[in-house]
Amino acid sequence: MNLLVSGSVLLIAALAFFSYDLYSYRQLLARNIDAEAQIVGENAVAALLFNDRDAATTTLNGLQRSPDIVAATLLTPDGKPFAHYGTSEAPEAGVNRLAAHETDQVWTSGTRVAIAHRIVFHDQTVGVVWISARLTEIGQRVRRYSLITGLILLLSMAAGSAISSVSQRSIAGPIVSLADTALVVSRGQDYSLRSNVKPDTRELTILVDAFNTMIGQVQERDSELNEARNSLELRVEQRTIQLKNANKELEAFSYSVAHDLRGSLEAISNIAFLLAEDDHVVNNDAIQPMLAMLRHSTTAMAELIEDLLNLARATGAPVSRAPVSLTALARDIAGQLATADPQRDVEFVIGNLPEINADAGLMRIVLDNLLRNAWKYTSHHARARIEFGAKSAGPSNGDSNGLIYFVRDDGAGFNPEQSPKLFELFHRLHDGGQFPGMGIGLATVRRVIERQGGSIWAEGAVEKGATFYFTLDRSAEEWLEEGVHRIA
């Protein structure tokens, strides 16, 4: 940088000096030649008046003492050459056409200077002297300037190299070393490194000390973060083990309670059945409603226990994948529903879908809940239609052939603004007096779908039916995120 700056400044200065010298030299030469022209004019008056060409030529030959003058010509008042000196160069056009009020005229072009001087005797023009000169010393001056500039440039280069060497040792060297250390630290994340540079200047000393202090602080914080992370990982691992043990204990407890409750409920249900067959009870109008309420309560409790067990299996049971026919599962569940209530007029439309790789038990829970929901919420209609099918969602990257599955009904439907609450645990959108239920089934379905890498959502309107969509691989989710129109 020092060499570049000093060399550039020197070249600019040399060019400026040379330009000024050229201008000054040309102006000086013009003044000198003008003086020569006046002298020639005064000496040539007699020769012009008496038409003495030899005397005029002799007068012009006196210009040979000026090495810059290359040609000179005496012109008569009408512009014709009278005498000549030097080369055969003729006056340029317009030189002998001086204005009435002009006595001298100067023309410059590059290294050439031309002078025209009017010769006046007793207020009468007797002729014009024309002189042409060239700046012959310009070449010598250029060579001298180039030599001087070269020598000064060499000296400046030497001085700049010496200064640069000193600057490199005292400034650039420490900075480069510090930058290398910073690069190694940032790439290798090794905060134990320190800069060992010993700079000569106070500013660089402060910079190196600040860098080392910063690295020390980063190293200390990194150590603290590592310790905290290790401690956190250990605590998380311990909590995970505790949570797994608690889940296992809770699962065992749930199955135990469910088994015991089932036994008790069966006993209560059997007793209620026996009482209902007794002649005294049959003829007692006060006991019959109580027995009906008892049977309804035991049935609801059994359904609740079954739903809770399904929720536990959906949450904690390991997922195993095998070829599963959703079509067969749906037809089996539809047949059970139709057999349980043969008086209902419900049309099932089940598509012939390809097999997928999924957990058969968990997928039965999904379809059972969705189809039973559709069955339940169409119960207030004289005729109903329940459909299970799928639409393509684009190329598949998972186990469901890139399909979006749906269960559609034409039942009671729901308010679209409340659709996000459908899958919340123990949350119901309809009154229990209209449609029985505990608000567990759809929450169970969502957990099963999410555990298999898919997602579920619903669309519907009040008294216009509902449609539940679900996917089992990410390809369908990506398709939805790209804004492709959902199934109508």
Angstrom distance (rounded) from CA 2 to CA 72: 53
Residue 262: which pLDDT band, with cuts at 50, 70 and 90?
Answer: low
pLDDT of 82 > 80? The answer is yes
pLDDT of 408 > 90? The answer is yes
Angstrom distance (rounded) from CA 366 to CA 295: 28
Residue 475: which pLDDT band, with cuts at 50, 70 and 90?
Answer: very low
Angstrom distance (rounded) from CA 133 to CA 34: 11
Which fold, 2-141? Beta-Lactamase (3.30.450)
Q: Which two tokens stand for residue 80?
A: 């014709």
Sign of CA dihedral 54, 55, 60, 62: positive
Asked if 396 and 402 touch (Cβ cutoff 8 Å), the reply is yes
Residue 265: which pLDDT band, with cuts at 50, 70 and 90?
Answer: low
Sign of CA dihedral 17, 22, 25, 31: negative
From-to residues of CATH 3.30.450.20 in the chain: 2-141
The reported pLDDT for the residue numbered 247 is 67
Whether domain 319-481 has CATH 3.30.565.10? yes
Angstrom distance (rounded) from CA 316 to CA 246: 12
Residue 429, helix vs strand vs coil: coil
- How many beta carbons lie within 10 A of that of residue 173, not counting itself? 15
The reported pLDDT for the residue numbered 96 is 43
Span 330-342, average pLDDT: 90
Find all residues with CB under 8 Å of 425, minimum gap 6, and list them. Answer: 311, 439, 440, 443
The reported pLDDT for the residue numbered 170 is 66
Residue 426, helix vs strand vs coil: coil
- pLDDT top residue among 222 and 300: 222
Model-level pTM?
A: 0.44
The reported pLDDT for the residue numbered 130 is 85
pLDDT of 140 > 50? The answer is yes
From-to residues of CATH 3.30.565.10 in the chain: 319-481
Span 124-134, average pLDDT: 85
Chain-wide mean pLDDT for the chain? 76
Residue 478: which pLDDT band, with cuts at 50, 70 and 90?
Answer: very low
Residue 433: which pLDDT band, with cuts at 50, 70 and 90?
Answer: low
pLDDT tens-digit profile of 172-204? 667 777 777 777 777 777 767 676 666 666 666
CA neighbours closer than 13 Å in the CB half-sphere of residue 114: 16
The reported pLDDT for the residue numbered 145 is 74
- How many beta carbons lie within 10 A of that of residue 17, not counting itself? 13
Residue 228 C-alpha from the chain's centroid: 33
The reported pLDDT for the residue numbered 280 is 60
Angstrom distance (rounded) from CA 318 to CA 235: 25
